[in-house]
Amino acid sequence: MPTFIHLANLVFDKNTIANKYNGGCDQFRIDYNIDSNEFNQEDDELFSISAMNINEFDIDLLIERGLAFDNKLNQSNDFVAITRYGGALWKTDWFNHNGTFAWHSNCNEDQKKKAIEIAEKMTMDKIQEFAEKGINMFETIRTK
């Protein structure tokens, strides 16, 4: 299920969080208010937390909780930093995006196709039509 890319995001593979983050996925959900914050998202494979600027994220806290970050290379395989207008700050083998949505390499193919369709083929007029009907085309893409 692809997640929407806000201005600045850190995106995490849920398997990594389950295996490395102190307290696992349950603690991560609590620490980042995943269930009650409309900007922090969760899908089948990913967590995504958002901010206005990339420098607002507390990387030291993530390291304290068990995730790896290479300060010399300024990157990690445990998570990816991405901004709406600058793209991903580094690459991993599990992370994909199209500038509007981010998804895991194991994402359901139909969900990935929907993310691509919305981002690359849908006009803002059409997206506005859906919004007027109460449908947010930029929500986490889920199966029906």
pLDDT band at 125 (very low <50, low <70, confident <90, very high): confident
> Which has the higher per-residue pLDDT, 39 or 127?
39
Residue 130's pLDDT is what?
A: 63
Q: Report the percentage of the chain scoring pLDDT > 90.
A: 59
Q: Does residue 45 surpass a pLDDT of 80?
A: yes
12: which strand partners?
47, 79
Band of the pLDDT at 132, cuts 50, 70, 90?
confident
Q: CA-to-CA distance for 96 and 115, rounded, in angstroms? A: 11
pTM of the model: 0.86
E strand or H helix that includes residue 80: strand 79-83
Secondary structure letter of residue 69 according to DSSP: -
